[in-house]
A and B are shown apart, each in its own frame.
Chain A
Amino acid sequence: MRTTILEHELSKIIDLARQAKRLDGRGLEEMRDFSIEVDKYENAEGSARVMLGQTEVIAGIKMGVDKPYPDSPDEGAISVGAELLPLSHADYESGPPSLDEIELARVVDRGIRESKAIDFSKLCIKEGEACWIAFMDFYAINADGNIFDAGSIAALVAFLNAKKPKLNDKNKIIKGEYDGKLELKRLPLLATFVKVGGKIMVDPTYVEEKASEARYSVATTEDGFMSAMQKGKGAFSFEEINYMIDLAYKVNDEKRKKILKLVKK
């Protein structure tokens, strides 16, 4: 890995954090502003481009027809993939999925899957024979930290807009024709925090992630549930975790309001 951050930058961030300040002037509980572009990529059945500060993430959904898993013959499935493209940061290299990419994909996946936002039985086409698989892949295009939250916004928006292709009588996709939308019953979003110099901050930038001693993400829904959690590196006390959960509901509610407003436009 080519380290592109200087030591003094990291110690500066830690010093500032101890005074409850951040390098970009944000408050510790303040997330960066974000914008969304919906359905930009015409080959995808649903897609989104999200800019969270300088972090840029794109997500797209391809719907495929496959045989259901033997243990759930009347259910479809979703599949989530994530890539930290070498295009997005000098530290990232091409190659097979790294541990970070696998964790990233799985945490975003769990936030959506476990919230039961998608009714898998509605993805069944014919029991035991054919079902939908929604492949959602997201890519970091410019990585300035918190790909988790940017990815979860992009994923949610892509799912909100995903169309189901029409099928012929042999269950083959008819190109260019659609048969309704994928239904979402909940709107799960991730909120990610890091601890720097003993202080918790939401929505870390790349350098803040590098300077941090611990990381934690939690997915919340609009009706008060939590659907996934992941502690990354480091350690937290329960007081800290409870504080982050409360804050997660707050920032995710704000994000959700903004997403619904932007998507409806």
Chain B
Amino acid sequence: MMTEEKIPDYKKEKKRVDGRKMDELRPMSIKVGVLPNADGSAYLEWGQNKVYAAVFGPREALPKHTQNPLKAVMKVVYRMATFSVPERKQPRPNRRDMEISKVLTEALEQVVFTEQFPNTEISVYVEVVDSQAGSRVACLTAASCALADAGIPMKDLVAATGVGKAFGEVIVDLDKHEEDAPDAVDIPIGIMPNSGQVVLLQMDGLLTKEEWAKIIPLGQKACKDIYEVQKNALKEKFVLNEVSEKTVEAGVNDKVEEKTPKVAAKKETKEVKAKKVKK
């Protein structure tokens, strides 16, 4: 372990162990529609974290007694690959996995119009294949993109990040080193970016009210940034419509440009149709 190292002081240094600013996120990339078998899917890399999210449904809720005649039942399952952590993880789900599954379910229930699909189940599976602090917020961020990719009616996306305190300063997106700081406070939060409603909130550590007041705006700003990444990921898949509109505006002169978007747009409407039939 890193026992011999000097403990950093973020108040003085103004720079974090990995060189980030206090309010800077680790690099993040999202891709949606990565799993052909799923109704919706997303793959997210965030620092060293790598997670897959897949959505199935709305489909018949089984066993039957789990059905709710008033709304769809959301089921989020969080799992980690055995090799996704420094010390091999036991393959069967532990209490941590189950708790995270529960809080993620409760977060995503808030954004989906579940009342539109009575007696069904919407399953969201998230699999962490590599991790370094902040896997649950990575999963929530990816899962909400996967739900959007599945075409499930939603009030909003969920953007989530870790915020908190380490080495004497308030920071966002703690990495492992900062999570292990003697004064570390880790607060995973998930926000609906448009309404500002909080759908995930947990905390570990000792915190004053003053620090809490400083942390909230940091978290809100970080989630706004994450929301932009999410929107761009969804646009990257569904933007083809925009492209074809543009070419229509441009006229018929540019034949090469016109050809490809048209085919692509056609393919997409087919997909949308297929989804409608399914429902």
Task: Please list the residues of chain A having a beta carbon within 8 angstroms of any beta carbon in chain B.
Answer: 2, 40-45, 47, 54, 56, 58, 60-62, 64, 81, 83, 85-90, 94, 96, 135, 137, 139, 141-144, 175
The reply to whether A61 and B1 contact each other, CB–CB distance below 8 Å, is no
- Which residues of the partner chain B approach A88 to less than 8 Å between Cβ atoms? 35, 37, 54
CA distance A54 to B52 in the complex (A): 16
12 contacts between A and B (CB under 8 A): A2-B60, A41-B84, A41-B130, A43-B48, A85-B127, A86-B125, A135-B83, A135-B88, A139-B127, A139-B129, A141-B52, A142-B37
Contact with A along B43-63 (1 / 0, CB 8 A): 000001010111010011010
The reply to whether B59 and A41 contact each other, CB–CB distance below 8 Å, is no
Contacts A87-B35, A90-B56, A142-B36 given; does A58 touch B129 at CB 8 Å: yes
The reply to whether B81 and A58 contact each other, CB–CB distance below 8 Å, is yes
- A-B pairs with the 7 shortest C-beta distances? A60-B83, A62-B88, A44-B83, A87-B125, A41-B130, A87-B54, A137-B82
CA distance A40 to B59 in the complex (A): 33
B86 lies within 8 A of chain A by Cβ: yes
Chain B's closest residue to A158 (CB) is B83
The reply to whether A2 and B62 contact each other, CB–CB distance below 8 Å, is yes
**How distant is B34 from chain A, measured CB to nearest CB, in Å?**
8
Within 8 A of A (CB), among B103-137: 123, 125-127, 129-132
The reply to whether A143 and B37 contact each other, CB–CB distance below 8 Å, is yes
**How distant is B74 from chain A, measured CB to nearest CB, in Å?**
15
B77 lies within 8 A of chain A by Cβ: yes
Chain B's closest residue to A137 (CB) is B82
**How distant is B246 from chain A, measured CB to nearest CB, in Å?**
31
- Which residues of the partner chain A approach B123 to less than 8 Å between Cβ atoms? 86
The reply to whether B83 and A87 contact each other, CB–CB distance below 8 Å, is no
B27 lies within 8 A of chain A by Cβ: no
**How distant is B59 from chain A, measured CB to nearest CB, in Å?**
6
**How distant is B103 from chain A, measured CB to nearest CB, in Å?**
17
- B37, B53, B85: which contacts A43 (Cβ < 8 A)? B85
Tell me the number of A-to-B contacts counted with CB atoms below 8 Å: 97
- Which residues of the partner chain B approach A61 to less than 8 Å between Cβ atoms? 83
Contacts A42-B130, A56-B35, A83-B91 given; does A62 touch B77 at CB 8 Å: no
19 further A-B contacts with Cβ under 8 Å, apart from A43-B84, A87-B127, are A2-B59, A40-B50, A40-B130, A41-B129, A56-B35, A60-B81, A62-B88, A64-B88, A85-B79, A86-B56, A88-B35, A94-B79, A135-B88, A139-B127, A141-B127, A142-B37, A143-B37, A144-B37, A175-B86
The reply to whether B35 and A142 contact each other, CB–CB distance below 8 Å, is yes
Interface size of B in residues (CB-CB distance below 8 Å): 35
CA distance A118 to B88 in the complex (A): 21
CA distance A87 to B51 in the complex (A): 11
- B50, B87, B92: which contacts A41 (Cβ < 8 A)? B50
CA distance A58 to B231 in the complex (A): 28
Contact with A along B62-105 (1 / 0, CB 8 A): 10000000000000010101111111100111000000000000
CA distance A44 to B50 in the complex (A): 12
- Which residues of the partner chain A approach B54 to less than 8 Å between Cβ atoms? 86-88
The reply to whether B125 and A85 contact each other, CB–CB distance below 8 Å, is yes
B38 lies within 8 A of chain A by Cβ: yes
Contacts A42-B130, A89-B37 given; does A81 touch B82 at CB 8 Å: yes
**How distant is B187 from chain A, measured CB to nearest CB, in Å?**
24
**How distant is B79 from chain A, measured CB to nearest CB, in Å?**
7
Chain A's closest residue to B54 (CB) is A87
**How distant is B126 from chain A, measured CB to nearest CB, in Å?**
8
**How distant is B173 from chain A, measured CB to nearest CB, in Å?**
17
The reply to whether A144 and B36 contact each other, CB–CB distance below 8 Å, is yes
CA distance A141 to B129 in the complex (A): 10
Quick one: which of B37, B54, B87, B92 has the most chain A CB within 10 A? B37
- Which residues of the partner chain B approach A175 to less than 8 Å between Cβ atoms? 1, 86
CA distance A135 to B91 in the complex (A): 11
**How distant is A144 from chain B, measured CB to nearest CB, in Å?**
7
The reply to whether B127 and A43 contact each other, CB–CB distance below 8 Å, is no
The reply to whether A94 and B77 contact each other, CB–CB distance below 8 Å, is yes
- Which residues of the partner chain A approach B37 to less than 8 Å between Cβ atoms? 54, 88-90, 142-144
**How distant is A38 from chain B, measured CB to nearest CB, in Å?**
14
- B48, B81, B86: which contacts A139 (Cβ < 8 A)? B81
The reply to whether B35 and A81 contact each other, CB–CB distance below 8 Å, is no
Chain B's closest residue to A136 (CB) is B83
CA distance A62 to B130 in the complex (A): 12
**How distant is B96 from chain A, measured CB to nearest CB, in Å?**
16
The reply to whether B52 and A87 contact each other, CB–CB distance below 8 Å, is yes
The reply to whether A90 and B77 contact each other, CB–CB distance below 8 Å, is no
CA distance A89 to B92 in the complex (A): 19
- Which residues of the partner chain A approach B77 to less than 8 Å between Cβ atoms? 86, 94
